Amino acid sequence: MASLGVGIVGLPNVGKSTLFNAITKAGALAANYPFATIDKNVGVVVLHDPRLKALQKLFVKGERMPPMVPTHVEFVDIAGLVKGAHKGEGLGNQFLANIREVAAIAHVVRCFDDPNVVHVAGRVDPLDDLETINTELALADLQSIERRLDKLRKSARSDKDDRALLEILEPLMQHLSQGQPIRTYAGAEPEMLARAALELGLLTQKPVIYICNVGEEDLPEGANNPHVGRVREIAATEGSEVVVVSAKIEAELADLSEEEAAEYLQDLGLQESGLDRLVRTAYQTLGLQTFFTAGEKEVRAWTIRQGTRAPQAAGEIHTDLEKGFIRAEVIEWNRLVEAGGWAQAKERGWVRTEGKEYIVQDGDTVLVLFNV
């Protein structure tokens, strides 16, 4: 599967590295000065899924519980961005190169006031922060398109695919020039936009999650925080998701045991951590879903793109399963739990046999039959 990383971006000192440390416990440098993050940091974050635990309980034998393997989301902490990044200012070249490698963007926006934490612009203004980064990404996309246009105008005379690409690039430039990201452009087929984004490395086509970093008093949703309200308005115009977190609180939770963290959340009046919401939102934003394999040896969650057919899903388990795919036995996870196991589910007629055209659904539990 292609890279499905989520790049954590934002201006310096908005809480990117603090957030990254919390969700990965990977120890990225977090310091109170611009450009504390100078290297790309990658961390794998578990997607907590109660369905997995429910399946695990089915296959306990005596005191032996089968290993449980959750799925995950990859987060990338990317160097802080400043105005002029598209021209290489600050660490702009590195920022743009790193962000091209990820499938989605998690844009951290500072929505708290603290005189002890320096803001790169000298004031807290989330809309200005958003505009700074969105403008830099749009300018980088404009440069990418301009570099390609001359060559494309020549090749379009004889190549119909290049001609079709040329026809959307010129209106795309107009769209970008008006301060609009490519992901909001509705004047072209999605397949053609995807081709343009892939070939030119366009950045504003990538889906975005806006992360509002707030103080403890604004948890869980930042309802009374005017900064959060403004970010929500911007996100609504482009169909993006907003997740409210307190990076400071999440960092404290990361240092606690599972039991202590649960107790701390209860004391704060929270049902779950902001980071659990973020990981779940990232998973959905990437267009991913989960299927399961379950038995006495192991209970595991697997990640696939929405719309994946059974043989390709089997290939996520092992390439031999895709090559030799015959059919799959499939049951929804909750029906398997209700039945009490595979044998009981088959007795009730709840296990279906599906072929190569079957599109695997979120929550399916699958047994692949194959022949190499």
- pLDDT tens for residues 282-298? 999 999 999 999 999 99
Q: Which residue has the higher pLDDT, 156 or 4?
A: 156
Alpha-carbon distance 69 to 217, whole Å?
Answer: 35
69: confidence class by pLDDT, cuts 50, 70, 90: very high
In this structure, the number of other CB atoms found within 10 A of the CB of residue 3 comes to 9
Percent of the chain with pLDDT over 70: 88
Q: Could you tell me if 104 and 125 are in contact, meaning their C-beta atoms sit under 8 angstroms apart?
A: no
Mean pLDDT over 301-315 rounds to 97
**Crossing angle for the helix pair 160-177 and 126-155, to the nearest 10 degrees:** 150
Three-state DSSP class for 134? helix
Whether the upstream peptide bond of residue 126 has omega within 30° of 0, thus cis, is no
Instruction: Please say if the pLDDT value at position 30 is more than 90.
Output: no
Check residue 310 and give its pLDDT. Answer: 98
Q: Which residue has the higher pLDDT, 42 or 328?
A: 328
Token pair 């990437």 in the structure block, residue: 286
**Tokens matching residue 173:** 């430039």
Q: Which of 18-27, 100-109, 321-330 has the lowest mean pLDDT?
A: 18-27
- pLDDT tens for residues 206-241? 999 999 999 999 999 999 999 999 999 999 999 999
> What are the b/e assignments for 241-272, b being 16+ CB within 10 Å?
bbbbbbbbbbbebbeeeeeebeeebeeeebee
Instruction: Please say if the pLDDT value at position 83 is more than 80.
Output: no
Q: Which of 94-98, 312-316, 349-353 has the lowest mean pLDDT?
A: 94-98
Alpha-carbon distance 110 to 10, whole Å?
Answer: 9
Q: Which of 56-65, 189-198, 223-232, 263-272 has the lowest mean pLDDT?
A: 189-198
Q: What is the mean pLDDT of the chain?
A: 87
Hey, which of 103-107, 186-190, 195-199 has the most confident mean pLDDT?
Answer: 103-107
- pLDDT tens for residues 116-130? 665 555 567 888 889
